Amino acid sequence: MTRIPATLVLADGAQFEGYAAGYLPTPGVTTGEFVFNTALSGYQEIITDPSYAGQIITFTYPHIGNYGVNPLDEEAQRPWCAGVVTRDLSDLPSNWRSVGPLEGFLVQHRVPAIVGIDTRRLTRHLRRHGALPGAFGHADRVTVAEAARTARGTDGTDLVSRVTTREAYQHGDGARHVVALDYGIKTTMVHQLARRFRVTVVPATFDAEDIRALAPDGLFLSNGPGDPAALDAQVRVLDQLIGTLPIFGICLGHQLLARSLGATTYKLPFGHHGSNHPVKDLSTGRVEITAQNHNYAVAADSLGRSEVSHVNLNDGVVEGIVAADLGCFSVQYHPEAGPGPHDARYLFERFEALLGHGVREVQ
């Protein structure tokens, strides 16, 4: 396949050469915050994860697209990432589940990509300097460099309003009713909840009275994109609900719950994006392998009314908190794991048990 030459430029001036792929935008430049993901498979789930809104995903695995795409692996109705970077993009998928090539999927959903990049060099640069805004595209080098210079990261940005559902919807038919606040919820999360509960997924704009009016037995706080410090309105909603019903949060939901409980958050240098992070459950001593996708974390020295329940064994980052007397708990990683291991799916059972016992018996 003949491809058009393209350039990738980071905000600090670092430049990389490659070729345009996927959707070719006009005038030929895409901007966003560059991050890298170390998963070896699951590229479709990663690309369609709403938590990547505003970001450009660099795949460290050099060859993606080899098993194609299919509707069952989509985590949202459309990708929200700004773009994709890879060393090699397969144009000949081979898998019985495939309904087409990854590049066709990117074109269909207007996601630009750049291929032929030395992703090992780019990843090492991002590890050394942190996640960086930048640009790529098939426009001339000066245009791409200027776009990189003015590109924005995710700091201080509310991206939840971009990805949340516009209308409430329901799944499942369980005896207990759970309201799920959609900050950018993954489809696999909805499926895991619907296996156990009757679930009403509601927009992130719902206030406390809207939620109470649905008479839930529990509240679920989903994953999502962007900086939790930019979401004061969502935190104020949780301020009014904590202690009145069981609450379980994942990823951004974990960060917002922690903020409501008095903690602060900060940005990690290059985030956790991958499917093999070791996490220790401090209540059992058990170590689980987890899927992760986040740039922000909860400060361990600021927990307020909660305590650490899980910790990352790579770098000591807080991976979970619990406030037993208030009936709420949360984790930074993804127990629904799409893609990734299923070690942590017991947390959905823990939430189910909490709904059966009341807000003061979370453990």
d(CA 363, CA 360): 9
The pLDDT confidence band at residue 32, using thresholds 50, 70 and 90, is very high
Model confidence at 358, in pLDDT bands (50, 70, 90)?
Answer: low
**pLDDT for 360 beyond 90:** no
Would you please indicate which residues are annotated as catalytic (active-site) residues?
251, 334, 336
On the question of a cis peptide bond just before residue 101, with omega within 30 degrees of 0, the verdict is no
pLDDT tens digits, 249-305:
999 999 999 999 999 999 999 999 999 999 999 999 999 999 999 999 999 999 989
On the question of pLDDT at 109 being above 60, the answer is: yes
Position 359 pLDDT exceeds 80: no
The domains found in the chain, sorted by start residue, are 5-150 (3.50.30.20), 160-357 (3.40.50.880)
pLDDT tens track for 180-232? 999 999 999 999 999 999 999 999 999 999 999 999 999 999 999 999 999 99
User: Both tokens of residue 155?
Assistant: 């700091």
Q: Are strands 218-221 and 265-281 parallel, antiparallel or unpaired?
A: unpaired
pLDDT at 87 over 80: yes
State pLDDT tens for residues 141-176: 999 999 999 999 999 999 999 999 999 999 999 999
pLDDT, tens digit (0-9, with 9 covering 90-100), for 35-81: 999 999 999 999 999 999 999 999 999 999 999 999 999 999 999 99
- Whose tokens are 């379980």? That residue is 248
- C-alpha–C-alpha distance, residues 47 and 106, integer Å: 9
